[in-house]
Structure 1
Amino acid sequence: MEDTLKTEKTISLNIKEIQEIIPHRYPFLFVDSIESLEPLKRAVGYKNVTMNEYFFQGHFPQEPVLPGVIIIEALAQVGAIALLYDEKFRGKIAYFGGIKNARFREKVVPGDRLRLEVEIIKMKGPMGIGQATAKVGDKVVCQAELTFAVGV
């Protein structure tokens, strides 16, 4: 009997492949790997948080905590990868169009591995909205709705 189930190949990306898709570079590249990717639909990536990050010098020296804006930016970069991997947007830049309902639920500290999940819930031309969730282990540390605009 022939198997009628269609199997889809999971796309994963290393840091060099990520840099071929988005223009971000150190010190503003906040995605270390992509575990799974469905272009124009969703992406799951990771940021390894280390004490070597430049912002921990001032946020906060006595108790290093990953700034919330960095978590949001890391989520946006994962969302941008989900959009820009597709051929029709390849070579372009995804810009922030808005951030809604951002909530920070737990601290993220050096040694944590931040799981970054973005599902594209709406697309209209070069505009998109992504539902973004960041986790450490099973704990949700941040959620937000991110609006993207793909430009030149």
Structure 2
Amino acid sequence: MMKTFLMLHGINHNMFGKRDPVQYGTATLDDINAQLQALGRELGVEVESYQTNSEGDMCLRIHQAFVDNVDGVLINAGAWTHYSYGIRDALAILTVPVVEIHMSNIHAREGFRHKSVFAEIVKGQICGFGIDSYSLGLRATVSAAG
């Protein structure tokens, strides 16, 4: 059976390609998802992508990932990274590898972005490599899942 990985895109990510190209480049969310799909095929895994601007909906999707028994989760929660204990607690329910992704280097930006409330519960963080952060994240998550 093919392993399944879930890519969770957070708040405002539907605006990639239009929003702050200095930090986030010009790739759209569709571009990112297509890149992940292609890499997934290369790695022999299935990648499902989900984006929402609703914190509650993100928690519900994480709960569903637990029920569905996915093999790993990648998350770029955007600004929620820095304050959403609700999403953190939902992620903590998971028993599979979770990798946090950011296109920009959150440690080189505004002070409030330096802290991730997810850091203590994720397998690792990948940040600062633009759209390549997603490919690096998928490779890391697949590797961690064995």
TM range (shorter): under 0.3
TM-score (norm 2): 0.23
Tell which structure's C-alpha radius of gyration is larger. Answer: 1
The structure in which a higher percent of residues are helix is: 2
* Structure of greater relative contact order (alpha carbons < 8 Å, 6+ residues apart): 2
